[in-house]
Amino acid sequence: MRMLSRGYEALDLMILANEDHVPPFIYEYIFFKGRIEMDRLIQAVDRVAAIVPETLYCLDARRSRFKKAGFTARDVVTETAQMLDYGFEWDLRHGPQVTIRVGHGSHKDSMIVAVSHVLADGMGVLQYVSLLADAYSGVLSKVSNNRSSAPILAAASFGPQTEAEKRGAETPSMGLPLTGAGQEFFCRRVTLPKPTMDALHDLSRAHSATLNDVFFAACARVACRTLDLPAVALRCPVDIRPVVDPGPLSVANMTGLYRMSVDVEPDDPFSATVTQVRQEMLRQRKRRRYFFDFPTLAKLSRRFPVSALKTILKGSYLVRPVEYTNCGIQPDFAFSGVGVEYSFMTGAYAAYPEFPFSVSSFAGTTTFAITVVGDENRADASEKVLRRIVAEIKEWLAHENGEGRKGLA
């Protein structure tokens, strides 16, 4: 019997085209206050699959579709007798698009929900996990998922490039000098507690900036110093759902990009870099530059097979010093009385020259994480860069509040 197929959308194909550089996976890490019931979780996966059936499908890249392959919810969920602290990969062409691992500690559980980035972006993953929590709790609403890129293409009008965007496009490929042998996965992270984040939020507003501007500025400053350059080209993902309004549920890829060159002279104060980033974000938002290339991508995906499209798109990919992702605020997932102690999100685990840096917030605490493939030396060196990024932010807060570095640990 011929299997039913569900075709890829244009942004799904962009993810596939870049999988040689950045593996197509997103991870939600959840640490519970108690125990999860495994059978109940498996049932929840099955209920959510009725709404997002692609979660149990495999990739058929040759025919540009998700394809039924007989997977069930039990194929998705596995467990291990230890707490989980790093992610994993699997073959999306011969496995489902979601894999969940539950780690049992002595008194409480942890869980990693790993989702194919071909299926969904960060916000789509959060929507999936919210559905999973509702299904586990027995309160799953009747809702339909919208993966169509039609709303994006209908709204995708944009103005000319900014100067910072042009300079960013002209900047050669580069990567931070964080090499290392090996194929181990490492997730290193630093957290800032709620009191520090509250103070940082107040300071950002005083400078008419957002926390995202602050995080992005810190990345740029550390990248410039690490590479000994006066400017670096960085990208900042942006969720475009608020602009295109795809409906209440969109487990899909609906992320645009701001692209820019950020200038950082040796004596530039942090506030100057934040202001530069904020003004550039506003310019690009006004010109709707986050829509750039969407119409072209849609036309190419209709005209060329996946193999040819991947070749075309690979030529446009440039390695940047930092693969920055702000995953936003994590919801307070309710798994039927099993409280969540802590959660965060990251993108893929990537080898040199990528430096995958992600930021997410839960219950006021913000997690800064890097997810690298390599050996201990690469992981340690990457963690040092991570800590320098966080130190930039903390030192700015201390300086602006007239404090020393003391007391902000």
Question: 101 CB contacts (<8 Å, ≥6 apart)?
Answer: 77, 78, 79, 80, 84, 88, 111, 112, 114
27-57 pLDDT per residue, tens: 999 999 999 999 999 999 999 999 999 999 9
- Note the pLDDT of residue 341: 95
Among 114, 137, 160, identify where a domain stops: 137
Q: Examine the domain organization and report whether 110 and 227 are in the same domain.
A: no
**Distance in angstroms (rounded) separating the CA atoms of residues 12 and 28:** 20
Give the number of domains in the chain: 2
Going from the C-alpha of 312 to that of each of 30, 169, 300, 304, 308, the distances in angstroms are: 38, 17, 9, 10, 6
Q: Examine the pLDDT at 1 and tell me if it is beyond 90.
A: no
Highest mean pLDDT: which range of 300-304, 307-311, 343-347:
343-347
Q: What are phi and psi of 239, to 5 degrees?
A: -75, 125
**Distance in angstroms (rounded) separating the CA atoms of residues 185 and 351:** 9
SS3 per-residue string spanning the chain? CCCCEEECCHHHHHHHHCCCCCCCEEEEEEEECCCCCHHHHHHHHHHHHCCCHHHHEEEEHHHCEEEECCCCHHHHEEEECCCCCCCCCCCCCCCCCEEEEEEECCCCEEEEEEEECCCCCHHHHHHHHHHHHHHHHCCCCCCCCCCCCHHHHHHCCCCCCCHHHHHHHHCCCCCCCCCCCCCEEEEEEEEECHHHHHHHHHHHHHCCCCHHHHHHHHHHHHHHHHHCCCEEEEEEEEECHHHHCCCCCCCCCCEEEEEEEEECCCCCCHHHHHHHHHHHHHHHHHCCHHHCCHHHHHHHHHHCCHHHHHHHHHCCCCCCCCEEEEEEECCCCCECCECEEEEEEECCCECCCCCEEEEEEECCEEEEEEEEEECHHHHHHHHHHHHHHHHHHHHHHHHHCCCCCCCCC
Q: Examine the domain organization and report whether 129 and 157 are in the same domain.
A: no
177-202 pLDDT per residue, tens: 999 889 999 999 999 999 999 999 99
Q: Average pLDDT for residues 356-373, to the nearest whole number?
A: 97
- Whether 350 contacts 22, CB under 8 Å: yes
Average pLDDT over the chain, rounded to whole?
A: 92
Q: Examine the domain organization and report whether 194 and 229 are in the same domain.
A: yes
Q: Examine the domain organization and report whether 129 and 201 are in the same domain.
A: no
Among 112, 137, 162, identify where a domain stops: 137
- Note the pLDDT of residue 299: 81
Q: Examine the pLDDT at 333 and tell me if it is beyond 60.
A: yes
Q: Is the peptide bond before 321 cis (omega within 30 degrees of 0)?
A: no
166-176 pLDDT per residue, tens: 999 998 888 99
Q: Examine the domain organization and report whether 161 and 212 are in the same domain.
A: yes
Q: Which residue has the higher pLDDT, 398 or 305?
A: 398
- The number of angstroms, rounded, from the C-alpha of 278 to the middle of its chain's C-alpha atoms is 21
259-296 pLDDT per residue, tens: 999 999 999 999 999 999 999 999 999 999 999 888 88
Pairing assessment for the beta strands 365-374 and 340-346 based on DSSP bridges: unpaired
- Whether 126 contacts 102, CB under 8 Å: no
Q: Examine the domain organization and report whether 379 and 244 are in the same domain.
A: yes
* Rg of the chain on CA atoms, in Å: 21
- Note the pLDDT of residue 4: 45
Q: Average pLDDT for residues 4-30, to the nearest whole number?
A: 86
| Percentage of the chain exceeding pLDDT 90 | 80
Among 86, 111, 137, identify where a domain stops: 137
Q: Examine the domain organization and report whether 123 and 197 are in the same domain.
A: no
- The pTM of this model reads 0.94
Q: What is the largest CA-CA distance in the chain?
A: 71
- Note the pLDDT of residue 405: 39
Q: Examine the pLDDT at 163 and tell me if it is beyond 80.
A: yes
- Note the pLDDT of residue 105: 94
**Distance in angstroms (rounded) separating the CA atoms of residues 251 and 248:** 10
| Percentage of the chain exceeding pLDDT 70 | 96
Q: What are phi and psi of 167, to 5 degrees?
A: -65, -35
Q: Examine the domain organization and report whether 202 and 75 are in the same domain.
A: no
66-100 pLDDT per residue, tens: 999 999 999 999 999 999 999 999 999 999 999 99
Q: Examine the pLDDT at 409 and tell me if it is beyond 60.
A: no
Q: Average pLDDT for residues 373-398, to the nearest whole number?
A: 97
Q: What is the CATH number of the domain that holds 395?
A: 3.30.559.30
State the residue range of the domain holding 382: 150-307+316-330+347-400
Q: Average pLDDT for residues 209-219, to the nearest whole number?
A: 98
* Other Cβ atoms within 10 Å of 53 Cβ, number: 15
Q: Examine the pLDDT at 140 and tell me if it is beyond 50.
A: yes
